[in-house]
Amino acid sequence: MTGIYVFSEDPRLAAELVTSAAALADEVHAVCLGADAAGTLSATGATSVVVLEARGTTGAARPEAYVAALAGLVRDRGADLLLVGATVSGWEVAARVAALLDCALVSEASVITALPDGAWQAERVMYAGGAVQTETWTGTAVVTVAAGRAVAASASGSASPVEVVAVDVDERVRVLSRTARVRAGVDLASAARVVCIGMGLAEPGDLELAGDLAEALDAEVACTRPVAEDRGLLPTERYIGISGAHVHPDLYVGLGVSGQVQHTVGFRDAKVVVGINTSPTAPLFAVCDYAVVGDAHEIVPLLAAAVRARR
Ligand SMILES: Cc1cc2nc3c(=O)[nH]c(=O)nc-3n(C[C@H](O)[C@H](O)[C@H](O)COP(=O)(O)OP(=O)(O)OC[C@H]3O[C@@H](n4cnc5c(N)ncnc54)[C@H](O)[C@@H]3O)c2cc1C
């Protein structure tokens, strides 16, 4: 066996996978689909970077077109595991590689452990955070890992060796053009602090109140789904939860948020959780480090002033 191979078409996620894999194996090989990504990955401390270069393509191939090449690499080099970034494309790639290799596919692993007998174990969160499933297996497996599970490896002193491998790709489906989705210009997933408003603070004037606290904390403003979808107070990119954004902030402050599991699963990796709610039985308080029972209209300005006073 020759260590762990990692792949994601997103170089930032690929760098995170290198970090995760480095905790499990001495050798970590990062696979990418172009020279640009190779530059980023060669600075992550990976044992090597393998660039899959399509032979004679007529257009930009999708990651899915490299499935056979990726499967061949994993098989020929006897990889222990292939970690794949859990993106829409990554899910496709992972499932197809596992099918070609006829090996196990472990999806959305949150924790991976190498067991002493050579077997592997992974934990995955299920039912919107209501349960954690543990799976064990032996032999090669393809494992998908979501963004935010590890800190991306920072630039190491020496660049990893880069190997370019010419491969045949499946060009039956080609990308003809791309149109960027219009976004509200927010990247909640990488926000260090988030102030989240719920239906308890969702009148138009309340946005200013939450915005002021966010400004004091240097935080992004986010919301629950009904605030975005029912009230239209904020764009849908700003709602957190199972069907919205998944955030990993150092600080999450929930204002008038009840704390239903469909929402809380979206910030389950937050380091410190603060809740302000008029109801002492709000479910949010069960996941809070600091719980304030009271009217957010009264408490938020006091909190913002207190934060500013300490700056
Ligand atoms: C399939 C499915 C998927 C879903 N996905 C998501 C998702 O991704 N994200 C998401 O957020 N939701 C999602 N939901 C909805 C979710 O179940 C909850 O309904 C929603 O999160 C509740 O939003 P809320 O906390 O803002 O509102 P509410 O549940 O109405 O809570 C409002 C809270 O504000 C408090 N309050 C009222 N006035 C004040 C005040 N003045 N000061 C302080 N507190 C006050 C109340 O006590 C209450 O606890 C989903 C639901 C389903 C069925």
**Gap from CA of 244 to ligand 1 centroid (Å):** 13
Question: Which mutation among 278, 288, 292 tests ligand 1's pocket best, with the greatest number of atoms within 8 A of CB?
Answer: 278
Say whether both 302 and 192 belong to one domain. Answer: yes
DSSP state of 97: H
Say whether both 13 and 159 belong to one domain. Answer: yes
Q: What is the pLDDT of residue 182?
A: 65
Say whether both 15 and 135 belong to one domain. Answer: yes
Residue 68 lies in a domain: yes
Q: What is the pLDDT of residue 173?
A: 83
Q: What is the pLDDT of residue 149?
A: 73
Calpha distance 205→207 (Å, rounded): 5
Closest approach atom of ligand 1 to CA 284 = 49
**Gap from CA of 290 to ligand 1 centroid (Å):** 19
Among residues 167, 198, 220, the one where a domain terminates is 167
Q: Would you tell me how many other CB atoms lie within 10 Å of the CB of residue 58? A: 8
Residue nearest to atom 53 of ligand 1 (CA): 262
Place of tokens 């990119």: 237
Say whether both 155 and 192 belong to one domain. Answer: no
Say whether both 196 and 102 belong to one domain. Answer: no
Q: What is the pLDDT of residue 84?
A: 98
Residue nearest to atom 39 of ligand 1 (CA): 200
Q: What is the pLDDT of residue 159?
A: 87
| φ/ψ of residue 3, rounded to 5 | 90, -165
Give the CATH number of the domain where residue 192 resides.
3.40.50.1220
Residue 197 lies in a domain: yes
Residue 63 lies in a domain: yes
Place of tokens 């904020």: 234
Question: Which mutation among 236, 257, 276, 288 tests ligand 1's pocket best, with the greatest number of atoms within 8 A of CB?
Answer: 257
Q: What is the pLDDT of residue 179?
A: 82
Residue nearest to atom 14 of ligand 1 (CA): 262
Pair of tokens at residue 79:
């990889």
Q: What is the pLDDT of residue 158?
A: 79
Q: What is the pLDDT of residue 122?
A: 96
Say whether both 40 and 113 belong to one domain. Answer: yes
Q: What is the pLDDT of residues 115-153, one digit of tens each?
A: 998 999 999 988 777 789 999 999 999 999 988 777 766
- Find the domain containing 120 and state its range: 4-167
Q: What is the pLDDT of residue 126?
A: 84
Question: Which mutation among 277, 285, 287, 288 tests ligand 1's pocket best, with the greatest number of atoms within 8 A of CB?
Answer: 277
Q: What is the pLDDT of residue 60?
A: 65
**Gap from CA of 199 to ligand 1 centroid (Å):** 6
| φ/ψ of residue 253, rounded to 5 | -120, 115
Query: Beta strands of the chain (E only): which ranges?
Result: 4-7, 28-32, 48-54, 81-85, 104-106, 111-114, 120-126, 131-137, 141-145, 162-167, 193-197, 220-223, 251-255, 272-277, 290-293
Q: What is the pLDDT of residue 131?
A: 86
Question: Contact 146/108 with Cβ under 8 angstroms?
Answer: yes
Say whether both 145 and 232 belong to one domain. Answer: no
Say whether both 256 and 127 belong to one domain. Answer: no
Pair of tokens at residue 241:
């939860």
CA count, 13 A, side-chain hemisphere, 238: 23
Residue pLDDT tens, the chain, 311 long: 479 999 999 988 999 999 999 999 999 999 998 777 888 898 888 999 999 998 876 656 789 999 999 999 999 999 999 999 999 999 999 999 999 999 999 999 999 999 998 999 999 988 777 789 999 999 999 999 988 777 766 656 678 999 999 998 888 888 888 887 666 667 898 899 999 999 999 998 899 999 999 999 999 999 999 999 999 999 999 999 988 998 999 999 999 999 999 999 999 889 999 999 999 999 999 999 999 999 999 999 999 999 999 98
Q: Which residues of 179-216 are buried (b: 16+ CB within 10 A; e: fewer)?
A: eeeeeeeeebeebebbbbbbbbbbeeebbebbebbbeb
- Which residues approach ligand 1 with their CB closer than 6 A? 198-201, 224-227, 239, 241-244, 256-258, 260, 262-263, 266, 276-279, 282, 295-297
Say whether both 74 and 20 belong to one domain. Answer: yes
Say whether both 71 and 130 belong to one domain. Answer: yes
Calpha distance 234→207 (Å, rounded): 9
Residue nearest to atom 8 of ligand 1 (CA): 241
